[in-house]
Amino acid sequence: MNISTDQVRRFLLQQIKSGDIVIQLILANIAIYLGLQLIAFIEWMLRLSEAPISLFIQNWFFLPASFNDLLIKPYTLLTYMFFHVSFLHLLVNVFMLYFFGKMIISLRGFKQVLPLYILGGLFGGIFYIFFNHFKLVPMIDTPIAGASASIMALMAAVTLIQPNFPLKFFLLFDVKLKWLMFAFALLNILGLSNAEGAGPGIIHIGGMLWGFIFIYLESRQISVSKPFNGLVNKLLALFNKRPQPKVSFINKEKVARKPQAKTNADDSQEKIDAILDKISANGYESLNREEKDFLFKASKK
């Protein structure tokens, strides 16, 4: 079966607009990686041996090792987790993000994915800066990038929820998730003795710790996801130029006097009620494009 470029474009647009949070995070990471590769290719074509644009991105969007640099660029605690330099690093992280992100959705719902991903990355980044600033372990002072801390947070969270979940190790034999998590943690701890592996190891351990802390707090009825998602919705609302629709409710008593229009009006009202319930539970941004358009048209009637 031949797949046209237009079909791929429509599929990607559909995933961006209506795909779940895991798919959107994956697409964001892939898009940024492809953008970096395009910039590197242009620099190569123009024979810019010093790669000034790539160097600028690395200096201003990767996570610095210095605490003083972080004070100048605090936003890098967020941006670094969406940048990948090597294709292999991206491929592994995207695969694990899809697997563990989808498991979180199936086990706990989509609302816990973003708090684990973003706050896991922040936690790992802060760990990296803290350990380097106080020289707790020897490490190379270089800017760092990648979603590994975020992925480790998702993996740790799933492990705490389903520790005995079986995984096919190298497609040969089953390994329980808790032992795989233990192996990851042990390898990263052992890597702290190596200056090159200490930085990534610290970031990974920070992400794992956040995953465990998050699930523990949630189990104690201390919600992290609710205030975090509420803050994200408020921030997104600032960039949403489209005014929130004003819904005019249908007077059912008046509609009852018009038997021919009753069925359509009742169907519309039921759909409006369902959409409003969804907004009340998950916020306006949880609506898909069709629901937003329907609500907007209803407000004009």
Sign of the Cα torsion 220, 221, 222, 226 reads positive
How much is the pTM? Answer: 0.76
Tens of pLDDT along 206-224?
999 999 999 999 999 999 9
pLDDT over 70 (residue 142): yes
pLDDT higher at 130 or 290: 130
pLDDT over 80 (residue 112): yes
At 262, the pLDDT band (50, 70, 90 cuts) reads very low
What are the extents of the domains in the chain? 5-233, 242-300
Tens of pLDDT along 88-106?
999 999 999 999 999 999 9
What's the whole-number mean pLDDT along residues 159-167?
Answer: 94
Helices (H), strands (E): how many in the chain? 14, 2
At 270, the pLDDT band (50, 70, 90 cuts) reads confident
Fold of the CATH domain 5-233: Rhomboid-like fold (1.20.1540)
Distances (CA, A) of 223 to 119, 189, 215: 14, 30, 9
Task: Determine whether 249 is exposed, middle or buried from the number of CB atoms within 10 Å of its CB (0-12, 13-18, 19+).
Answer: exposed
% pLDDT > 70, the chain: 79
Distance CA 201, CA 186 (A): 10
pLDDT over 80 (residue 294): no
The single residue listed with the structure tokens 């600033």 is 133
pLDDT over 60 (residue 181): yes
Tens of pLDDT along 182-211?
999 999 999 998 888 899 999 999 999 999
Q: In this structure, what DSSP letter does residue 250 have? A: P
pLDDT over 50 (residue 136): yes
Distance CA 220, CA 246 (A): 39
Instruction: List % helix, strand, coil for the chain (3-state, nearest 5).
Output: 75, 5, 25
- Average predicted confidence (pLDDT) for the chain: 85
pLDDT higher at 248 or 68: 68
Distances (CA, A) of 273 to 225, 244, 277: 26, 16, 6
What's the whole-number mean pLDDT along residues 26-48?
Answer: 95
